[in-house]
A and B are shown apart, each in its own frame.
Chain A
């Protein structure tokens, strides 16, 4: 009766735990809880300001941009109508905040008009300051006003011989100082004008209202684009649309990850159960292993979603293979024969609990160290695996407590081993082990490491090819480099831009650097302006005289004189307000070129040369090669993860020494360590480039093979042969991680291949070591 009650209590406990876990998971809002955003892999409090800025730009500003290239053949009228319908339909959709055809010059005209209106506020301070510096560096024979007037006339005369003069001749009477032509020359290239030949596609720039990483920035956008395309097709049935948005790629990537997640999980489960079915004497009884795996996964999901507000989907993709690890405990408990007939379950557990706890807890200790990682993904994986292993162990202990016969023998081939004393076999085993040692010692030196954030996503070749085509049409190419200069205030950002421009001029002489920031005066020039103007009371008559001397009709410059006098008599605006009015008129692609906000300002610059040396730190500028920045970031996190893994391994090794003594502990620890080095050696010899996820895989593989070392050592200590569970466990783990190696996500593939390789190595080593040793005399056990 006691046993009967105990079993029902255990069943009740299991049922309550399962219901509680499933209940928790059922009420989660998965759209909010699970992220597919690559940027969520980066800490929100990333310490490097450059990377933080890149993350911010990528997540907030730039990511909402959608680019469209609409090819419409046929008559111009039909083409224009189709494009107009497309644009208007998109504009009418709530999913879009802004839609601009690049042929529409309204935004550029508005900017030009605004700069012209504010030319004395924005452009004069810098112009005055640079002229003043030349004046004070010279002999100063003439008064400042006369010197400046003569210089203006000379420069204007020279300018009229340039090709650009023909284009600006109508504004020169209002701008003989050439403020606007100088500026336009310095901002050429900040946006790419569309191709103008008749056969070229119409380029349309748009900004979505919702974040492309979330549902509101995806499906409604796709629907709006579909409607707009249908509207265009009604006028031009042969119209062809190519477009790119982060949301489109993110959505495709998420769909493929979800498909892969379910596909790999099912395949992994099938393979694990299949191996169990083949190796176990009674196939249907293998079903007792499923609760252990499911219990581990349930515990892992619950713990991870409890601990973290937002969890990256990769954790579940990678963590789903926890089943292959969790089943270890089931194997070990279920396949271990009773020490004597009618041995009670409690007694069996008492006998096996030490290796079970030793393997589980040391692995948990190792993975718990990952909680100190800077990378959210690694922290989440640490919790997922640790919680999953503890849940699996608890589930295994409880599940087999309520099973009538908690033992199942394996088929004979699964536990068969060579017991003879053959010198050939011994030498062969020794030779193989020696080769393994050589590979483990030499191969890792050949390893190359490189982290690439693109490997975190499933490639979508068709979409990416389309995106590359569209981006090229919009002017992106490898011959241009984008820089972003930041500052906590407008003044500091602008000062940094000036330092960066000076550096760029020295570093890339002759190459142009275009930035809308050139339309903003530095604070120093702004503050110096009143003093510079104080000597210019007689500037207008001096200029008129100088113009006449150089063959100009001074009367024709009345627009300048009127504007100058009106500006001089008006109250001076506040620096930030003046710039704010300029920034406020930026629309469309130009809007991406600058941002002025409290505590955060930045300017984009475009250089007409390929990416090269990074600007010095005092320029507060970085090359906006987002991927490279992210890759550097991941490289840095790999080093951090490597350090944590080393500490984790050290702790695992120390645990072994404490639990099993120095010599035995060292022997146990040698197996996972040697397997890991061998796997890295093989990868090094194969010329494989490794990344952060190979490292994580290695850590996982070490913890797994560590289990086999403990179970083997425990059995050896009792004078028993190694348990068959090791073979089954290693095979199931290798199979499940081998399936992971089929993933289309490069990093998942890396992780799977590494774990599978380490586990197989450990299994082979466990099998080879006894073969390489001379058989011990009967009755003598290992100690």
Chain B
């Protein structure tokens, strides 16, 4: 997967983390295929809840699994999301760096505040178009690109987004979101068991107000 594509994919999906639950889920297998937009009322209610994110602040832990590494690389950070302004991921461990995604694209900012645009990749044009609705959790648009497998167990649920296009599936793999009630607990980008990224939400607060200093530092 090319760099821009992967980063964008990762960042655009992350807003669903905004309503995080307290602990990881126990659902280990994907559920049956569900038709987005015409799912039952419970799924509709969940989707609408996920789509109606406001200003969110979360702490997260990211485990990166590589096929050539026996143990994952662990990163910690903070996520800030503002509807209409974009998403900011501030990694605090092991290095201090920030990634910002918004309508203008992707921006990397180092610990000294120096910013660098990540140029769009021509090959990623359809990916960009496909993933933009994800930021809004737009079921109608998502349905055009992904198949959805959904599973429930009590209050816990699991959503598996599988790209319809084979080439896209090869590039980005499957996206899995675990949650409980209306909170996201974990997100995974999975190309294979040995090649995946897990994001575990440690805590989350919705409706927070960011200061001007935070806005300037963590957004464009």
Using CB atoms and an 8 Å cutoff, list the residues of chain A in contact with chain B: 102-105, 157-158, 160-169, 172-173, 188-189, 192-198, 510, 512, 551-553, 556-557, 608
Contacts A160-B69, A196-B120, A510-B112: A166 and B6 contacting too (C-beta < 8 A)? yes
Contacting residues of chain B (1-47) with chain A, CB-CB under 8 angstroms: 1-7, 10
Interfacial chain B residues near A551, Cβ < 8 Å: 69-71
B119 at the interface (CB under 8 A from A): yes
Closest CB pairs A-B (n = 10): A167-B3, A556-B68, A196-B125, A196-B120, A103-B122, A160-B73, A510-B114, A551-B71, A166-B6, A193-B119
Contacts A161-B94, A162-B95: A197 and B119 contacting too (C-beta < 8 A)? no
Q: Which of A166, A173, A189, A556 contacts B1 (CB 8 A)?
A: A166
B159 at the interface (CB under 8 A from A): no
Task: Report the minimal beta-carbon distance from A292 to chain B, rounded to whole angstroms.
Answer: 66
Q: Which of B1, B73, B125 contacts A167 (CB 8 A)?
A: B1
A167–B69 touching, CB < 8 Å: no
Task: Report the minimal beta-carbon distance from B73 to chain A, rounded to whole angstroms.
Answer: 4
Chain A contact residues: helix, strand, loop or mixed: loop
B128 at the interface (CB under 8 A from A): yes
Nearest B residue to A176 via CB reads: B68
Interfacial chain A residues near B99, Cβ < 8 Å: 163
Contacts A166-B7, A166-B197, A551-B71: A196 and B66 contacting too (C-beta < 8 A)? no
Of listed B1, B112, B197, residue having the most chain A CB within 10 A: B1
Interfacial chain B residues near A160, Cβ < 8 Å: 64, 66, 69, 73
Interfacial chain A residues near B69, Cβ < 8 Å: 160, 551-553
The CA-CA distance from A198 to B144 in the complex, in Å, is: 15
Task: Report the minimal beta-carbon distance from A714 to chain B, rounded to whole angstroms.
Answer: 75
Nearest A residue to B89 via CB reads: A163
Q: Which of A163, A193, A196, A553 contacts B68 (CB 8 A)?
A: A553
The CA-CA distance from A157 to B74 in the complex, in Å, is: 11
The CA-CA distance from A633 to B112 in the complex, in Å, is: 41
B151 at the interface (CB under 8 A from A): no
Contact digits for B111-122, partner A, Cβ 8 Å, 1 yes 0 no:
010101001111
Task: Report the minimal beta-carbon distance from B113 to chain A, rounded to whole angstroms.
Answer: 9
Task: Report the minimal beta-carbon distance from A621 to chain B, rounded to whole angstroms.
Answer: 23
A105–B123 touching, CB < 8 Å: yes
B67 at the interface (CB under 8 A from A): yes
Task: Report the minimal beta-carbon distance from B85 to chain A, rounded to whole angstroms.
Answer: 19
Nearest A residue to B99 via CB reads: A163
Task: Report the minimal beta-carbon distance from A278 to chain B, rounded to whole angstroms.
Answer: 67
B108 at the interface (CB under 8 A from A): yes
The CA-CA distance from A318 to B215 in the complex, in Å, is: 60
A188–B119 touching, CB < 8 Å: yes
Known: A161-B73, A166-B6, A188-B116; 19 extra A-B contacts, CB below 8 A, are: A103-B122, A103-B125, A104-B122, A158-B94, A160-B66, A160-B69, A162-B97, A163-B108, A167-B2, A167-B6, A169-B67, A172-B66, A173-B67, A173-B68, A198-B129, A510-B112, A510-B114, A551-B69, A552-B68
Of listed A189, A553, A608, residue having the most chain B CB within 10 A: A553
B168 at the interface (CB under 8 A from A): no
Interfacial chain A residues near B139, Cβ < 8 Å: none
Interfacial chain A residues near B119, Cβ < 8 Å: 188-189, 192-193
B124 at the interface (CB under 8 A from A): yes
Q: Which of A164, A166, A196, A556 contacts B124 (CB 8 A)?
A: A196
Task: Report the minimal beta-carbon distance from B220 to chain A, rounded to whole angstroms.
Answer: 15
Contacts A198-B129, A510-B114, A552-B69: A167 and B7 contacting too (C-beta < 8 A)? yes
Task: Report the minimal beta-carbon distance from B41 to chain A, rounded to whole angstroms.
Answer: 33
Interfacial chain B residues near A167, Cβ < 8 Å: 1-7
Contacts A196-B125, A197-B128, A552-B69: A165 and B64 contacting too (C-beta < 8 A)? yes
The CA-CA distance from A556 to B65 in the complex, in Å, is: 14
**What are 8 A-B pairs at a CB distance below 8 A?**
A103-B125, A105-B122, A161-B95, A163-B99, A165-B66, A196-B121, A196-B124, A551-B70
Task: Report the minimal beta-carbon distance from A184 to chain B, rounded to whole angstroms.
Answer: 8
Interfacial chain A residues near B1, Cβ < 8 Å: 166-167
Task: Report the minimal beta-carbon distance from A320 to chain B, rounded to whole angstroms.
Answer: 51
Interfacial chain A residues near B206, Cβ < 8 Å: none
A168–B3 touching, CB < 8 Å: yes
B143 at the interface (CB under 8 A from A): no
Interfacial chain B residues near A168, Cβ < 8 Å: 3
The CA-CA distance from A552 to B99 in the complex, in Å, is: 27
The CA-CA distance from A547 to B47 in the complex, in Å, is: 44
The CA-CA distance from A161 to B76 in the complex, in Å, is: 10
Of listed B2, B94, B99, B122, residue having the most chain A CB within 10 A: B122
Task: Report the minimal beta-carbon distance from A313 to chain B, rounded to whole angstroms.
Answer: 42
B120–A161 touching, CB < 8 Å: no
